[in-house]
Amino acid sequence: MNIRYFAWVRERVGVEEETIEVPGGVKTVADLISHLKTLDDNHAAAFEEEDAIRVALDQLHVEADTDLGDAREVAFFPPMTGG
């Protein structure tokens, strides 16, 4: 699965994009976040303030309890500040 990071989430993780193997037990966005936090200190730091993280599944905003389904791309980022 392709994972993308933006803004300070990207800075904390240290990469813009990565492809990871999703373990069998990971069904929802929240499951994926829990898994990512175990990868290393950078990921753990990026997802420390979990409530501040927004998620898009195949470029659509979703909530943490959303099933990953067949999504090819998941993106994590802080609340938006455009405009």
Residues of the shown chain interacting with other proteins in the complex, contacts defined by CB under 8 A: 4, 6-8, 56, 59-61, 75, 77-83
Q: Taking the complex as a whole, how short is the minimal distance between the CB of residue 12 and other proteins, in angstroms?
A: 11
Backbone angles phi, psi at 12, to 5 degrees: -75, -45
Q: Taking the complex as a whole, how short is the minimal distance between the CB of residue 74 and other proteins, in angstroms?
A: 12
Q: Reduce the DSSP state of residue 41 to 3 states and report it.
A: helix
Distance separating the N- and C-terminal Cα atoms of the chain? 30
Q: Taking the complex as a whole, how short is the minimal distance between the CB of residue 9 and other proteins, in angstroms?
A: 9
CA distance 15 to 69: 24
Residue 6 or 34: which CB sits closer to other proteins?
A: 6
